[in-house]
Amino acid sequence: MNDQPQAELDWRDGTIPISRRFDDPYFSLDNGLEETRYVFLAGNDLPARFGGDFVIGELGFGTGLNFLTTWKAWQDAGSPGSLTFVTFEAFPMAVADMATSLAAFPELAEWSDQLISALSAGGPLRFGQIELQIVVGDVRDCLPQTDLLADAWYLDGFSPAKNPEMWGPDLMEQVAVHTKTGGTLATYTAAGHVRRALSEVGFDVVRLSGYGRKRHMTKAVKR
């Protein structure tokens, strides 16, 4: 894509990618697809809120699992309007590694195949009424330079302990700046410093039961 270093991976059970740089899996070891539905879709009241020109922002594109799960949900719900999905990624995965990761989710094959073909062809990343924008680079540098204004955010960095760059107060402030009033965010973590930072930059923050073995997750609404 550009000069950004590519993701280097180890594989658990041959299917779950683990980042060597961050020593953390890209998605839940239990059931990545169901966790995405629970945390990011339900956490943002999706697909119920889809409609108009809906905009989602994501921190960390990774394998594309969240994007594909969202696209399928948007389509299955017969959502009107359009969907723009803007995602930030500092260490893009090789397309072949993405394909290996996504092969674990046969339910998404129809959508994964289209994404992999489009990425292999170098774009465009437009699928009917859905547009995917992958902003390559460190999100701390890239987000302040965009005019993105999201209806919903997926905060999906690696764990705050291993990937603090994705959870700092300055970045949370940028997320707030790039969220519509009444817009929402969801994340699998309930780390106290993340929730406090979100609250300080203008979100009403709620802690919910987490997915699977995780006790809690977070959702928030921009005041």
Ligand X SMILES: C[S@@+](CC[C@H](N)C(=O)[O-])C[C@H]1O[C@@H](n2cnc3c(N)ncnc32)[C@H](O)[C@@H]1O
Question: Which residues of the chain form contacts with ligand X (CB under 6 A)?
Answer: 7, 26-27, 60-66, 88-91, 138-140, 156-158, 163, 165-166
Q: Of 29 and 80, which has the nearer Cβ to ligand X?
A: 29
Q: Of 139 and 198, which has the nearer Cβ to ligand X?
A: 139
In angstroms, what is the minimal distance from the CB of 222 to ligand X?
A: 21
Measure the CA dihedral 96/42/31/179, to 10°: 40
DSSP 152: E
Q: Of 63 and 79, which has the nearer Cβ to ligand X?
A: 63
Contact 90, 96 (CB under 8 A): no
Instruction: List, edge to edge, every strand of the sheet that includes 53-59.
Output: 126-127, 130-136, 82-89, 53-59, 150-155, 179-187, 216-222, 203-209
In angstroms, what is the minimal distance from the CB of 91 to ligand X?
A: 4
In angstroms, what is the minimal distance from the CB of 80 to ligand X?
A: 25
Q: Of 34 and 204, which has the nearer Cβ to ligand X?
A: 34
In angstroms, what is the minimal distance from the CB of 223 to ligand X?
A: 26
Tokens of 154: 């997926």
